[in-house]
Chain A
Amino acid sequence: MSVWDVVELARHPERPYSLDYIKRLAPDFVELHGDRLTADDPALVGGIGRWHGRTTMFLGHQKGRSLKERVERNWGMMHPEGYRKAIRLAHHAAKFGFPIVSLIDTPGAYPGAGAEERGIASAIASAIMEWFQIPVPIVAAVIGEGGSGGALGMGVADRVIMLEFSIYSVASPEAAASIVWRDNSRKVEAAEQLQITSREILAMGVVEEVVREPEGSARADHDAAAAALDAALQRHMQPLFELSGEELLRRRYERFRYIDSLIKAEPQFGPKID
């Protein structure tokens, strides 16, 4: 399978989206809307449901299947309001001691004028900083596309896992091609060069686990994919319940502060730290 085949699987319209997983993980899920400032961002779903006996906050980028739904969900590309809603719900979860599951599936934050006018850069920046102060367990999973800062804005967690045929990238292959070659048609080369597949991201030490997908990938069997994701999320969440809020925050800080530490272990793999 080529890297581009993986990109296409990660973006496949029949691939399960966040709500497909959330409804299987927590059938009693209640969706909560809005950033309590100006709007609700339909590209991000959030809400609570009972998961393995605990009320849990679920957050997830949401794409649409029909054209109408895709437009409504803005192809899973969040506006500033989405990041503000996520942080509002994170504080809500912290208030009641609910653990948080964050499902990542976005090409990136919305690259449009309105997002710029309403401060998308500082919305993402604040979210990233704020996640380090939410003293409840957080597990994030990349379930499809983990595109750029738009994904990372939802990806600061105690554990981060990836589905087998998902991707995580500093920029979408198209954007990277446009930046490096000024030619977004060289996306296939860019995808190969960027090392965005789950196996490569795991090797770089950026995620804790790659979750095997069912035969024919997650799109072939939504129930089996959800069962695999459920088990993996649970496996990573469980040990976090043993830790105090303070300890969680300390370890979350260290996780990201030294995320490139593999580089120290393998000198050929990065900067030499003096």
Chain B
Amino acid sequence: MAVIDRQSAGVPIAGGKLPEILLPTNCPGCGAGLDREGLRAQNYVCDCGHHFRLGADVWIPIIADEGSFQERWSGIRSHDLLTWTVPKRYEEVVDELLSEGLNESVRTGTCTLNGKPIWLAAFDFGFVGGTLSIVAGERLARGMEQAASSGLPYVLVCASGGARMQEGVLALMQMAKVNAALGALHRARVPYFSVLTDPTFGGTAASLALLADINIAEPGAAIGFTGPRVIKQATYADLPPGFQSADFQLSHGQVDLVAPRTELRPLLAHLLELYT
């Protein structure tokens, strides 16, 4: 079902050609063998509706007009605050991920979407589970402060397990740091759109993710505070099928709409027209 009418139908579903990603041989949704090129042309959404998880390197060209993304503060690095050694030294973990071409759990910058300038921040689940870290918090807070003063709409793509254990209580404090800046963004009356992808949990869900002017969830995304494994451990409860799914959050009043990834960009373009 289309979420918007043909008004924005002229907007392509991605801003540019998407990079290739690692894919299984068969779709976990329907079991069909995957047509890699076909999937890539459909923002990595299978015909059955399964949405594959994407990194920031794919999200940026989905949202941004080709060549328009100007990344900011990409040089900030995580450091080992707690001399974290188990099960692996934190610095080793970070170095390995950086050498794989990832750059922290949040990347941010300015770009245009269908010609309109915006701030864009994308979580990267591949970087320690997209966890909120000091670097992530700093990039988010600075971008929000700049959006608040420049008036550029702020678009966020979420995929995060919560706060990063390896940065201890300072990772927890990022929730307050980011929400301080988010309050400034709201007071400046700058539109903020949040795209909730699979999974969005913990300290990220309990800070910036669900406080947008418009919360847009991807079909099938799991969204919540406490993960189902911990809920079962703590309460011995049997959780019903679909618990914490995008549709669950829609029916419980936490998200404004559920939109397939193939309609997201036309939707955002349309919203930008309505709000700016």
Q: How far is the CA of A267 from the CA of B163 in the complex (A)?
A: 22
**Smallest CB separation, A176 vs chain B (Å):** 5
Residues from chain A with Cβ under 8 Å of B77 in the complex: 271-272
| Chain A-chain B contacts (Cβ-Cβ < 8 Å), number | 194
Stretch binding the partner chain, chosen from B29-37, B82-90, B258-266: B82-90
| A124 cross-chain contacts in B, Cβ below 8 A | 206, 225
- Interface pair A259/B177, CB less than 8 Å apart: yes
Determine if A169 and B175 form an interchain contact, defined as CB atoms under 8 angstroms apart: no
Chain A residue numbers with a CB within 8 Å of B134 are 260, 263, 270-271
Given contacts A121-B225, A195-B82, whether A128 and B165 have CB atoms under 8 Å apart is no
Q: Is the pair B169, A201 in contact by a Cβ cutoff of 8 Å?
A: yes
Evaluate contact between B225 and A120: CB separation under 8 angstroms.
Answer: yes
Check B18 for interface membership: any CB of A closer than 8 A: no
Q: Which residues of chain B have C-beta atoms less than 8 A from A268's C-beta? A: 79
Main secondary structure of the interface of A (DSSP, over half): helix
Cβ-defined contact, B82 with A256, below 8 A? no
Which of the residues B82, B174, B224, B233 comes within 8 Å of A184, measured between beta carbons? Answer: B233
Inter-chain contacts of B180 with A (CB < 8 A)? 129, 132, 252-253, 256-257
Contact A120 B183 (CB under 8 A): no
CB <8 Å contact, A204 and B169: yes
Q: Give bound CA distance, A274 to B230, whole Å.
A: 38
Q: How many of chain B's residues have a CB under 8 angstroms from any CB in A?
A: 65
A113's partner among B76, B177, B243, B254 (CB-CB below 8 A) is B243
Instruction: List 30 A-B pairs, Cβ < 8 Å.
Output: A109-B225, A111-B234, A113-B231, A113-B243, A116-B226, A116-B243, A116-B244, A119-B210, A122-B206, A124-B225, A125-B207, A125-B208, A128-B175, A128-B206, A132-B180, A149-B206, A149-B207, A149-B225, A169-B168, A171-B163, A179-B165, A189-B86, A206-B169, A252-B180, A253-B180, A257-B180, A260-B174, A267-B79, A270-B134, A273-B76
Residues of chain B whose beta carbon lies under 8 Å from any beta carbon of chain A:
73, 75-79, 81-82, 84-87, 134-135, 137-138, 141, 161, 163-165, 167-177, 179-184, 186, 202-203, 205-211, 223-226, 229-231, 233-235, 237, 239, 243-244, 252-254
